[in-house]
Structure 1
Amino acid sequence: MSDLQQALSAGVPVKIARDVYNRVRYGAEAPKSDELIWIRPRDVTDWYKPDPANGAPKFRRRHSGLVASGDWDRSRTPFGGHIKLDSIRAHFEGGVPWQDTPLFAFMLDQLAEKGRVDSCLSREDLIARYDRLDRIYEEAQRTRTLRPHGSVNETRREHGGILVHIARDGTPLRDGGGMHRFAIAYVLDLPRVPAQLGVIHSDAFKSGVLQELRRPPE
């Protein structure tokens, strides 16, 4: 995929326009699309639950940096079992080989159905992907943090990282991508890890919570 195709796929033109709008409306401290923020994984207690009929739109990475009012942030579901979280816990805490986890079986099914999943085209690609996760886990365990996704993968800002929306009270709500990295951080109970800013509630922005989320770990 060319750089132009990647930019269009990531919604960069729309994001740039949003950045300009935010800067004009909210000033120098305005949220930025794909912005890097820092969260404590165990502070995440809920998933954002899209419910368009009741004012909770389906948000995607391309909505990163959007300031939204209303009650969308009240639509959530408790953060409980998840195939990626459960499988990562089984692998790292229980010593279960990746190939024996429900996640690996699910990914193989997706690969057979779609021909490509998470940039993997074959079983060998999946094995290599989970070998890389082992290395990420080992580094995170040693350093007690994760390196920003953007600095490792050379993406625009933190695009592709752990996606979280920010509710009116500053609570991070999980949604969408970055689940592998988030699950590793959650299992290790890391103090603060990098994340991609999704949508932020207008009340949260007004309260200044973004300033704290922007502060990197010491």
Structure 2
Amino acid sequence: MSFRTAYNALATPFVLGKLALRGRRRDRAAALTHGVEGPRYCERIWVRLDEVREESLTRGAKTAVVMGGDWYKNARPLTDNPKIAYCLRHWRDGLTWDETGAIDYTMGQISDNVVYDHLTTKAQVLRRFATLDRIFEQVRRENRIRPVREYRFLRYREQGGLMFHIGPDGRPMFAGGGHHRVGMALSLGLREVPAMVLLAHPNGLWALPRLRQPVGTEAAPLIQES
């Protein structure tokens, strides 16, 4: 047994127990304020990709925060995100990573920030993109993006997964976590991805019960009932 395996075996009950306790407290507070439609701590939702139009540029939010105002207006079209754009050019259109501009983009970020996505050298960047290609082939074979607890230890619910906000119209807005996995899903035409809710606009809470269900388990349209 490796050290990491032994550590995970010992640490998992403690870490997950602590997160579960925090989650129950947060869930009770949300239920008292917002009822059953309130977002839950690190909860998993199922985002229908054909309903996602924008990436929210509002960053720094914690999970399951209900916030009014016009934060959702700070947004851009999803495919204007440079990471998602180069993923589509590579996996959907068949260009090499170099031809997509991904290598230059990443090296530019490293030049500006010294460390970017835990990368500091071109060799590391090339290894990262080779790893992404291997993950893409796995996603292609399985025809899905895995929920986070299937591939990471010490995660509670969908903690560490793709991150989305819920706008006032009930539509999920990409919130900046998991660009490459979103790019994989879009390139393969997947119907849905598992994700974690960050911000939720109070006018959009009505959509959460629907988003908690995977595609095929219900057929409610994305239209708010009057």
TM-score (normalised: structure 2)? 0.73
Matched letter for residue 140 of structure 1 = V
Aligned to 1:32: 40
Alignment of 1:8-23 (within 5 A): 18-23=26-31
Matched letter for residue 188 of structure 2 = L
Please say if residues 55 and 176 of structure 2, whose CA atoms lie closer than 8 Å, have aligned partners that are also in contact: no
Secondary structure at 1:196 match in 2: strand
Aligned to 2:117: 118
Aligned to 2:56: 48
> CA 1:98/1:158 → structure 2, altered by over 3 Å: closer, same or farther?
same
CA RMSD of aligned residues (A): 2.9
Please say if residues 68 and 201 of structure 1, whose CA atoms lie closer than 8 Å, have aligned partners that are also in contact: yes
Aligned to 2:165: 165
CA deviations on 1:38-62 (whole Å, 9 max, x unpaired) are 112221112224xxxxxxxx442x4
- Alpha-carbon shift at residue 22 of structure 1 (Å): 1.4
Matched letter for residue 66 of structure 1 = V
Aligned to 1:55: none
> CA 1:119/1:215 → structure 2, altered by over 3 Å: closer, same or farther?
same
> CA 1:24/1:161 → structure 2, altered by over 3 Å: closer, same or farther?
same
> CA 1:114/1:76 → structure 2, altered by over 3 Å: closer, same or farther?
closer
Aligned to 1:83: 82
Task: For 1:70 and 1:116, locate their aligned partners in 2 and report how far apart those are by CA, in whole Å.
Answer: 34
The answer to whether the aligner puts 1:141 opposite 2:140 as a matched pair is yes
Aligned to 2:192: 192
Aligned to 1:127: 126
Aligned to 1:213: 211
Task: For 1:160 and 1:112, locate their aligned partners in 2 and report how far apart those are by CA, in whole Å.
Answer: 27
Task: For 1:47 and 1:158, locate their aligned partners in 2 and report how far apart those are by CA, in whole Å.
Answer: 20
Aligned to 1:66: 65
Task: For 1:22 and 1:143, locate their aligned partners in 2 and report how far apart those are by CA, in whole Å.
Answer: 35
Matched letter for residue 213 of structure 1 = L
Task: For 2:55 and 2:85, locate their aligned partners in 1 and report how far apart those are by CA, in whole Å.
Answer: 16
Please say if residues 42 and 186 of structure 1, whose CA atoms lie closer than 8 Å, have aligned partners that are also in contact: no
Matched letter for residue 187 of structure 1 = S
Secondary structure at 1:175 match in 2: strand
The answer to whether the aligner puts 1:178 opposite 2:178 as a matched pair is yes
Matched letter for residue 211 of structure 2 = L
Please say if residues 79 and 85 of structure 2, whose CA atoms lie closer than 8 Å, have aligned partners that are also in contact: no
Secondary structure at 1:176 match in 2: strand
Consecutive unaligned residues in structure 2, runs of 5 or more: 1-7, 9-18, 217-226
- Alpha-carbon shift at residue 69 of structure 1 (Å): 2.7
- Alpha-carbon shift at residue 75 of structure 1 (Å): 4.5
> CA 1:75/1:86 → structure 2, altered by over 3 Å: closer, same or farther?
closer
Secondary structure at 1:169 match in 2: coil
Please say if residues 56 and 176 of structure 2, whose CA atoms lie closer than 8 Å, have aligned partners that are also in contact: no
Task: For 1:189 and 1:198, locate their aligned partners in 2 and report how far apart those are by CA, in whole Å.
Answer: 24
Secondary structure at 1:173 match in 2: strand
Task: For 2:70 and 2:187, locate their aligned partners in 1 and report how far apart those are by CA, in whole Å.
Answer: 31
Please say if residues 88 and 186 of structure 2, whose CA atoms lie closer than 8 Å, have aligned partners that are also in contact: no
Task: For 1:194 and 1:117, locate their aligned partners in 2 and report how far apart those are by CA, in whole Å.
Answer: 25
- Alpha-carbon shift at residue 27 of structure 1 (Å): 4.6
How many residues align? The count is 198
Please say if residues 83 and 102 of structure 1, whose CA atoms lie closer than 8 Å, have aligned partners that are also in contact: no
Task: For 2:114 and 2:69, locate their aligned partners in 1 and report how far apart those are by CA, in whole Å.
Answer: 40
Task: For 2:76 and 2:36, locate their aligned partners in 1 and report how far apart those are by CA, in whole Å.
Answer: 34
